Amino acid sequence: MNEQFQQALSIIETLKRHGHEAYFVGGAVRDYLLQRPLGDIDIATSAHPQEVMSIFPKTVPVGIAHGTVMVIERGVSYEVTTFRKEGRYEDYRRPKEVTFVSSLYEDLQRRDFTMNAIAMNEHGDIIDPFGGTEALKQRMIETVGDAAERFNEDALRMMRALRFVSQLGFSLSTKTKQAIIQYGHLLQHIAVERIAVEFEKLLLGPFMSKAIDLLIETNLFCYLPELATKKRELAQLATYSIVPTHRTEAWARFAFVVHFHQKELKKWKLPNHFIRDVLICLKALEHIRSLSDWTVDTLYEYGPYIPHIERIRAACKHDEPHVHLLLKRWEALPIRNRKELAINGNDLLTLFERKAGPWLATMIENIERAVLHRKVENEKEKLKEWAVCNQRRENNC
């Protein structure tokens, strides 16, 4: 068992001391067996949420209705979820209420894929009733039980299957793939926000190309917001090999390639501030494309976004990104933003003894450009002098 599990061991031991069963489950066990870095550690237990809350001193009831309590131990939080099976599924979505059950087996049975339905006890023994370890060996994504039935219960699982393809590079079992082809349309019943979470993970995965190819092959892309007519563009996205390092970069690259603008991004119900960041990247990419390279002005305008934009530019041109070099060029600019100007609006109002007006914004912009292009040093007295000369020049015109 690795260090992260060792640290979480005390939770399992405490639950057991109180007479309950408890196991590590889900993604962490899968990733541990694959020797990948672990995400959050999840624990499944026979203890009911109220019992979990009474046993541990620091808990947060994050999803009591679904049986989940967050337990905080030495600053690390763990999701402790009561063994459960899901109630009746309505409209192909996750059920609203769940039923607590007493056996680990039933809890594992309700999970999506065999590789995600493996448990591990406090000694590191693996409990794997559905052949998850074999699936890991075969690098195969396979539903627990009948694929058609499982996707009919919760259609989001089809998106999850493809995001795991992107993260792990695994293949879909024949039955799983067939069921996606047959039931892809059920994705229409799923909240866009939930689809976006899985799609974002797909965009960020090292095997994104494989997942996009499958998205096309299974026709699942037809049921993603604003993508039904974008088959050709998506296929283009699958040819890019640079793995995005940030969600803004991932979405901006996607949006750039499939020609998404604000309207389409809104359909994905992404938060407004996030859409704003993506749109800045898109504007920069258009700008750079028209200039064919970075300039002093584009470096200045898009400074904090340089790493995202440069990696997208390089991916789309099948080129090497020069992030480090560009950041150096950006840092070497006389100023990185307007706040770094050695003169401000008040200084200019005093200097020209004039009331504020549109002239002031123009003046500041002129000074900013002059400093950026090294026509004048960023020093207050020199800027004042330059401003007066500039004003005279303009008046003479």
User: Which residues of the shown chain bind ligand ATP in the complex (CB under 6 A)?
Assistant: 26-27, 39, 42, 111-112, 116-117, 154, 156-157
Dihedral sign of CA atoms 211, 212, 217, 221 in order: positive
Nearer to ligand ATP, 116 or 173 (CB): 116
CA distances from 375 to 85, 277, 330 (A): 70, 31, 17
CA distances from 73 to 57, 200, 295 (A): 9, 30, 51
CB of 339 to Mg ion, least distance (A): 41
CB of 26 to Mg ion, least distance (A): 6
Nearer to Mg ion, 112 or 128 (CB): 112
Nearer to ligand ATP, 34 or 53 (CB): 34
Q: DSSP states of 256-285 as a string? A: HHHT--HHHHHHTT--HHHHHHHHHHHHHH
Which of Mg ion, ligand ATP, none interacts with 252 (beta carbon under 5 to 8 A by kind)?
A: none
Per the DSSP assignment, residues forming a β-bridge with 82 are 45
Nearer to ligand ATP, 92 or 294 (CB): 92
Nearer to ligand ATP, 77 or 391 (CB): 77
CB of 55 to Mg ion, least distance (A): 23
CA distance 16 to 2: 20
Question: For Mg ion, what does the binding mask look like between residues 35 and 74, x meaning CB under 5 A?
Answer: ----x-----------------------------------
Which of Mg ion, ligand ATP, none interacts with 304 (beta carbon under 5 to 8 A by kind)?
A: none
Per the DSSP assignment, residues forming a β-bridge with 126 are 120
241: exposed, middle or buried (Cβ count in 10 Å: 0-12, 13-18, 19+): exposed
Q: Which of 54, 53, 60, 63 is nearest to 77 (CA)?
A: 60
Angle between helices 156-168 and 174-183 (to 10 degrees): 140
* Contact pick of 18, 27, 225, 376 for Mg ion (by CB under 5 A): 27
Which of ligand ATP, Mg ion, none interacts with 184 (beta carbon under 5 to 8 A by kind)?
A: none
Nearer to Mg ion, 28 or 316 (CB): 28
Which of ligand ATP, Mg ion, none interacts with 122 (beta carbon under 5 to 8 A by kind)?
A: none
CB of 107 to ligand ATP, least distance (A): 9
Closest residue to ligand ATP: CB criterion: 27
CB of 24 to ligand ATP, least distance (A): 11
Nearer to Mg ion, 86 or 226 (CB): 86
Q: Which of 262, 259, 209, 214 is nearest to 233 (CA)?
A: 259
Alpha-helical regions (H) of the chain: 3-17, 27-33, 49-55, 104-109, 132-138, 147-153, 156-168, 174-183, 192-204, 208-217, 231-237, 247-258, 262-267, 272-291, 296-302, 306-316, 323-331, 345-352, 358-372, 380-396
CB of 325 to ligand ATP, least distance (A): 34
Which of ligand ATP, Mg ion, none interacts with 311 (beta carbon under 5 to 8 A by kind)?
A: none
Q: Which spans of this chain sit near Mg ion (rule: CB under 5 A)?
A: 27, 39
